Amino acid sequence: MKTKTLLCVAALLAATLRAEEKKSCCDACCAAEKSSAVAVPVSDRSLYQLDAAWTDDAGQRVALASLRGQPVVLAMFFASCEYACPILVHDMQRLRDALPAEARAKTRFVLVSFDTVRDTPAALHAYRERSQLDASWTLLHGDADAVQELAMLLGVKYKQDARGQFSHSNLITVLNAGGEIAHQRNGLQGEIAEAARAVVALAK
């Protein structure tokens, strides 16, 4: 009986250790984030409350909160999209070009993929190369829950069809340094000038 109990305790210990391991992984992620981000408070309207884990196209695990401290221009897309995504990304590039150099240097451009299966970090990296996106761009891959949660918070609708393509809202969101939604451009027709003005105001 004693041996049995011991074994049982050992099994429990192992489980606890695994939990510890997991915890230390996340501490590491947040330590990196602390070092890079300016101390901007996270309000109860901040997207940086979300604790979902993402992976960038370099294979690094990141939390959305790692974007804290600067204006962010963000859109959801998928790399194999042949319809609106190229226009959406092109619009973000135009927005970027429209910014004064100082504001541009302070702003991050983020693309989050709907396609949790095909848009692996490696696929996103290939997309970065193909689209000539420089270091001011962050490309994120997440699991289905993380993608759904973010889409819900941004008000992005999306749906995968039988061919694996996604129908989705074309929405460019501007976040302030604290991760609150400061501006949204809906659809492909709206002017980008307004979004650019919102970024410039935030970058001051």
Partner 1 sequence: MKRLLCFSIACMLALGASGAGAQAGAVARADMVVIPAGEYVPLLRGKDDLARVPVTAFRLDVRPVTNAEFLAFVRENPKWRRSRVSPLFADEGYLGDWAGDLELGAAAPAEAPVVRVSWFAARAYAAWVGKRLPTTAEWERAIAAGYTTADGASEPAYRADLLEWFARPSPSPLPAAGSGRANFFGVRDLSGLVWEWVADFNTALVTGESRADTGLDRNLFCGAGAIGAGDLTNYPAFMRAGFRSSLRASYVVPNLGFRCAQSLPNSP
**Chain residues that interact with partner 1, rule: CB under 8 A:** 3-4, 7-8, 10-12, 15, 44-47, 49, 81, 83-85, 88, 148, 151-153, 155-159, 161-163, 165-170, 186-189
Shortest Cβ distance from residue 153 to partner 1 (Å)?
A: 6
Rounded Cα–Cα distance for residues 66 and 112 (Å): 14
State in angstroms the smallest separation of the CB of 114 from partner 1.
Answer: 10
CA 166 to chain centre: 18
In angstroms, how far apart are the furthest CA atoms of the chain?
A: 74
CB 204, min distance to partner 1, A = 25
Nearest to 50 by CA among 184, 175, 182, 167: 175
Residue whose CB is less far from partner 1, 14 or 28: 14
Task: Give the Cα separation of 10 and 118 in Å (integer).
Answer: 40
HSE-up (13 A, CA, CB side) for residue 200: 13
Taking the complex as a whole, the smallest distance from the CB of residue 48 to partner 1 amounts, in Å, to 10
Q: How far is the CB of 160 from partner 1 (least distance, A)?
A: 9
In terms of CB distance, is 136 or 158 closer to partner 1? 158
Backbone angles phi, psi at 83, to 5 degrees: -100, -95
Output 100 or 164, the one with its CB closest to partner 1. Answer: 164
Cβ closest to partner 1, residue 80 vs residue 93: 80
2 or 204: whose CB is closer to partner 1?
2
Taking the C-alpha atoms of residue 87 and residue 70, their distance in angstroms, rounded to an integer, is 25
The single-letter DSSP state of residue 68 is T
- Pick between residue 6 and residue 58 the one whose CB is nearest to partner 1: 6
CA 56 distance to own-chain centroid: 8
Taking each helix axis from N to C terminus, what angle separates 85-98 and 193-203, rounded to the nearest 10 degrees? 50
Q: How far is the CB of 72 from partner 1 (least distance, A)?
A: 16
